[in-house]
Amino acid sequence: MLIKTQGYNYEVKYRPGADMVLADTLSRLPNPENDGDIELDERIDGIETEFEDAERHTIAIINFSPEKQNSLRSQTANDTKLHVLKELIQQGWPESIKDLPKDLRPYWSEPKFRDELATESGVIFKGRQVLIPDSMTADILTQLHVAHQGIEKTRRLARERVYWIKMNDDIERVCRSCSVCAEHQDANPKETLKPHDLPTRPWQSIASDLFEISGRHYLLTVDRYSKYPLVDEMPTQVTSHAVTQKMQCYMSLFGRPDEILTDNGPQYTGQAFQLFVKRWGIRHVTSSPHYPKSNGFIERHVRYIKAIVKKTQQNKSDLYIALLQVRATPIDSKLPSPAELLFGRTVTTLLPSRADPGKVGHRQHLAHRAAVMKEHHDRSCRRELPPLRPGQHVTVWNKERRTWHPAVVQQKCNEPRSYVVQTPNGNMIRRSRSHLRGPYNTQVQQTVKRTHLVEPPTLDEDQEDRSDPTQPAPSCETESKPPDPNNPQTVRTRFGRAVVKPMHYRDYV
């Protein structure tokens, strides 16, 4: 029954028997005389995880740059302790901890620790955490502390991604001994927080403010639900127009919030910003004696982000990597990271972490879409293009610049689907029919003469070429030559189908 009901969201409520109109199935189901196994219509014999399917080798199991993955694998393999650990994971643990070498005992002693360990593709995992060999911990510690967050936050960021014995101690040591952190320690006494209505969903209510560090101006916008911060350096003259432009960009990325909380600064009370909130239908709440609401929220975040900007400036480290760490660090032990609250998924950082494959349904549908598009493209390529006459105005594909340029057809070559065309500077070039488009009228021609076309011109009535000009064009600089029969390379798609080159591309093998 549990299996049958798992597709529903239900709530179990107690109702006295006297209030029940009909006795329902549930009240009669438990039968004390029959305590044997209940026969189920459906039975689960095994669960196949996504990593166990045929695609296991094509799906990344770890988020880390390929070079660093290789280095992680080789350093894990070269670590004698981890080498033995890997064997233990694969072949089983001894009966007693005493049978383990001393340096491997910590992997046993913690409850459930052993059961969480697994190896895959040369990497050891502890649950979702990637086990880091000793030789790499210094590197990872530097990465973990790039945003100069405190001990607890750095630990929370680490616990989502990596593991090594003594990781917590090492993080504490690094944070305590950091001179940049010591210098910027928060001296502000804690304020009492004003209670205010909390948003109930991501990106419903956002707060925004400007701050300045040594003459440089920054715009900070924070989602009040997820605490996801957006930081942008602004031009020296921060106008209402400049702030509005950034805001519009955020709205198009994350959607329209219900309200924006700001102070009474001229950038927010200015005409451009006022027009923007009106057009987007956003309630603009400014701090005033009547609305002291959540002013503290953005002030706290300004202090926090300001400190990070200062620390990265002083340390000459990358602000954007630091901000990514802030967004990827769980808010507290019960709340995930701002990014996860806002996007519903963890974001990858420069630190290693276990990779989550996309949803199976989505992956299959994307593969299907790609196959359909390829089919459509190939079908249109196979269609013969209409011949061109000498004197016709056409555009010719420039492979280097990836643009179409005007030309006039001079003559048809003896080779099939090949023409000599003259460009406006008098050059005579030979091109395949598939790299010539036309005819088109002289008005268009005037336009192309004045400006370089970045986009291919609109297709003419004949619609002769549906191929995507952004796809790599086959080489047309060389003389035509027949395909080499000694090298019949059959290219196959990832679905195993042989790729048949369209007839008119045959000359350009």
Stretch that binds Zn ion, among 175-183, 250-258, 366-374, 426-434 (CB under 5 A): 175-183
Stretch that binds Zn ion, among 64-72, 96-104, 170-178, 375-383 (CB under 5 A): 170-178
**Residues whose CB falls within 8 Å of the CB of residue 152, separated by 6 or more in sequence, listed in order:** none
- Which residue number, 148 or 435, has a Cβ lying nearer to Zn ion? 148
Given 59, 84, 151, 178, the residue binding Zn ion (CB under 5 A):
178
Q: Cβ 272 to Zn ion, closest distance in Å?
A: 39
Q: Cβ 312 to Zn ion, closest distance in Å?
A: 10
| DSSP-derived pairing of the beta strands 216-223 and 62-63 | unpaired
Q: Cβ 178 to Zn ion, closest distance in Å?
A: 3
- The verdict on 151 binding Zn ion (CB under 5 A) reads no
Q: Cβ 145 to Zn ion, closest distance in Å?
A: 5
Given 181, 309, 326, 409, the residue binding Zn ion (CB under 5 A):
181
- The verdict on 321 binding Zn ion (CB under 5 A) reads no
Q: Cβ 149 to Zn ion, closest distance in Å?
A: 8
With 0-12 CB in 10 A as exposed, 13-18 as middle and 19+ as buried, what is 148? buried
- Which residue number, 318 or 415, has a Cβ lying nearer to Zn ion? 318
- Which residue number, 144 or 181, has a Cβ lying nearer to Zn ion? 181
Q: Cβ 137 to Zn ion, closest distance in Å?
A: 17
Given 84, 104, 180, 509, the residue binding Zn ion (CB under 5 A):
180
* 3-class SS letters over 388-438: CCCCCEEEEEECCCCEEEEEEEEEECCCCCEEEEECCCCCEEEEEHHHEEC
With 0-12 CB in 10 A as exposed, 13-18 as middle and 19+ as buried, what is 73? middle
User: H helices of 255-359, where?
Assistant: 266-269, 271-280, 295-315, 319-328, 338-343
- The verdict on 161 binding Zn ion (CB under 5 A) reads no
- Which residue number, 148 or 433, has a Cβ lying nearer to Zn ion? 148
With 0-12 CB in 10 A as exposed, 13-18 as middle and 19+ as buried, what is 110? exposed
Residues in the interface with Zn ion (CB under 5 A) total 4
Stretch that binds Zn ion, among 48-56, 146-154, 456-464, 499-507 (CB under 5 A): 146-154
* Count of beta carbons in the 10 Å neighbourhood of residue 475: 10
Query: Which residues lie across from 394 on neighbouring strands?
Result: 407
Angstrom distance (rounded) from CA 304 to CA 231: 12
Angstrom distance (rounded) from CA 457 to CA 423: 16
Closest CA to 390 of 426, 425, 439, 427: 439
Secondary structure of residue 264 in the 3-state scheme? coil
Q: Cβ 213 to Zn ion, closest distance in Å?
A: 17
List Cα–Cα distances, 376 to 367, 373, 380, 386, 498, in angstroms. Answer: 14, 5, 6, 19, 16
Q: Cβ 223 to Zn ion, closest distance in Å?
A: 26
- The verdict on 174 binding Zn ion (CB under 5 A) reads no
- The verdict on 165 binding Zn ion (CB under 5 A) reads no
Q: Cβ 181 to Zn ion, closest distance in Å?
A: 3
Angstrom distance (rounded) from CA 206 to CA 298: 9
- Which residue number, 181 or 322, has a Cβ lying nearer to Zn ion? 181
Binding track over 91-130 against Zn ion, x by CB under 5 A: ----------------------------------------
Report the interface residues with Zn ion, using CB under 5 A.
148, 178, 180-181
